[in-house]
Structure 1
Amino acid sequence: MDPFRRAQIILLCDLCKTAHLQSHCERCDINLCQTCVGKHLSDSSIRHKVVLYKYRKSLNYSTCPHHADELCKHYCEKCDIPVCSTCVSSSKHKGHDISDILEKLSANTESLQKDLDELETRIYPRYEEMASGVQTEKAELETNYGKLTTIADQQGELLHREITAIVNQQKSNIQEMKIKHLSTLNKNTEEITQKMAELKQIMSDLKSILKSNDVSLTSSYKSRNSEFRTLPTKVRVKLPSFTPQKINKDQLNEMFGSLSPLSINTEHGDTIKSAEAVSSPPVKPLLDEPRFTAAIDTRYTELYSVSCLSEDQVWTCGTNKTMKLFNLQSKLLTSIKTKSEDEPGDIAVTRDGDLVYTDYRDKTVNLIKNKQIQTVITLQGWYPLYVCSTASDDLLVTMISDDDKQYKVVRYSGSTEKQSIQFDDQGRPLYSSDTFPKYLSENKNLDICVADNGARAVVVVNQSGKLRFRYTGHPSNTEQSFNPRGLTTDSQSHILTADIHKHRIHILDQDGQFLRYIHCHLERPVGLCVDIRDNLFVAERFTAKVKKIQYL
Structure 2
Amino acid sequence: MEISTSSLQTVLVASIQTGSDVPRRLACFGSSEVWISGIDDVIEGWNMEEEFAVKDIFQTGSGRRPTDLTVDFKGRLMYSDHYQRKIFKRKNRHVKEVMCFRKWRPSGICYTSKGELLIGLSNKNYSKKLIRRYFGRKCIQEIHFDENGIPFFKPGDLAIFVEENKNTDICVTDCQAKSVLVFDESGSVRFKYSGSHVIAEFKPGCLATDSLYHIFIVDTGNDLIHVLDQYGQLLGFIDDACGVTGTTGIAVDSENRVWVTECHTSKIKVLKYS
Look up the equivalent residue of 1:368 and give its one-letter code.
Answer: R
CA RMSD of aligned residues (A): 1.9
Asked if structure 1 preserves the Cα contact closer than 8 Å seen for 2:28 and 2:253, the reply is: yes
Asked if structure 1 preserves the Cα contact closer than 8 Å seen for 2:183 and 2:190, the reply is: yes
Instruction: Work out the CA distance in 2 between the residues paired with 1:359 and 1:407.
Output: 16
Instruction: Work out the CA distance in 1 between the residues paired with 2:24 and 2:56.
Output: 18
For the pair 1:351 / 2:79, whether they are aligned, the reply is: no
When normalised by structure 1's length, the TM-score is: 0.47
Look up the equivalent residue of 2:147 and give its one-letter code.
Answer: D
Asked if structure 1 preserves the Cα contact closer than 8 Å seen for 2:121 and 2:130, the reply is: yes
Specify the alignment match of 1:447 in structure 2.
169
Q: Describe how 1:60-75 pairs up with structure 2 within 5 A.
A: none
Asked if structure 2 preserves the Cα contact closer than 8 Å seen for 1:347 and 1:387, the reply is: yes
Which of residues 2, 8, 12 is equivalent to 1:292?
Answer: 12
1:301 Cα shift? Answer: 2.2
Q: Describe how 1:48-447 pairs up with structure 2 within 5 A.
A: 289-328=9-48, 329-447=51-169
Specify the alignment match of 1:494 in structure 2.
214
Which of residues 229, 248, 252 is equivalent to 1:530?
Answer: 252
1:408 Cα shift? Answer: 0.8
Instruction: Work out the CA distance in 1 between the residues paired with 2:18 and 2:149.
Output: 43
1:336 Cα shift? Answer: 2.2
Instruction: Work out the CA distance in 1 between the residues paired with 2:119 and 2:23.
Output: 20
1:401 Cα shift? Answer: 0.5
Unaligned segments of structure 1, at least 5 residues: 1-26, 28-39, 43-286
Q: Could you say which structure has the higher helix fraction? A: 1
Q: Describe how 1:503-542 pairs up with structure 2 within 5 A.
A: 503-519=223-239, 520-542=242-264
Specify the alignment match of 1:41 in structure 2.
3
Instruction: Work out the CA distance in 2 between the residues paired with 1:542 and 1:323.
Output: 18
Look up the equivalent residue of 2:78 and give its one-letter code.
Answer: V
- Aligned residue pairs, count: 269
Instruction: Work out the CA distance in 2 between the residues paired with 1:288 and 1:529.
Output: 17
1:288 Cα shift? Answer: 5.4
| Fraction of identical pairs, as percent | 31
Asked if structure 1 preserves the Cα contact closer than 8 Å seen for 2:121 and 2:131, the reply is: yes
1:480 Cα shift? Answer: 6.1
Q: Deviations over 1:21-75 (max 9, x none)?
A: xxxxxx8xxxxxxxxxxxx435xxxxxxxxxxxxxxxxxxxxxxxxxxxxxxxxx
Instruction: Work out the CA distance in 1 between the residues paired with 2:140 and 2:61.
Output: 26
Instruction: Work out the CA distance in 2 between the residues paired with 1:524 and 1:543.
Output: 8
1:438 Cα shift? Answer: 2.2
Look up the equivalent residue of 1:505 and give its one-letter code.
Answer: I
1:330 Cα shift? Answer: 4.3
Residues 338, 522 of structure 1: CA spacing in aligned structure 2 closer, same or farther, 3 A cutoff?
Answer: same
Look up the equivalent residue of 1:423 and give its one-letter code.
Answer: F
Where relative contact order (Cα < 8 A, 6+ residues apart) is larger, the structure is 2
Q: Deviations over 1:453-490 (max 9, x none)?
A: 2211111111111111110114x44x461111110010
Instruction: Work out the CA distance in 2 between the residues paired with 1:344 and 1:448.
Output: 22
Q: Could you say which structure has the higher strand fraction? A: 2
Instruction: Work out the CA distance in 2 between the residues paired with 1:416 and 1:376.
Output: 12
Larger CA Rg, structure 1 vs 2: 1
Unaligned segments of structure 2, at least 5 residues: none
1:299 Cα shift? Answer: 2.4
1:521 Cα shift? Answer: 2.7
1:372 Cα shift? Answer: 2.2
Residues 397, 288 of structure 1: CA spacing in aligned structure 2 closer, same or farther, 3 A cutoff?
Answer: closer
Look up the equivalent residue of 1:488 and give its one-letter code.
Answer: A
Instruction: Work out the CA distance in 2 between the residues paired with 1:383 and 1:320.
Output: 19
Asked if structure 2 preserves the Cα contact closer than 8 Å seen for 1:425 and 1:466, the reply is: no
Instruction: Work out the CA distance in 2 between the residues paired with 1:456 and 1:425.
Output: 22
What is the DSSP-based 3-state SS (H/G/I as helix, E as strand, rest coil) of the residue aligned with 2:12?
Answer: strand
Q: Deviations over 1:89-124 (max 9, x none)?
A: xxxxxxxxxxxxxxxxxxxxxxxxxxxxxxxxxxxx
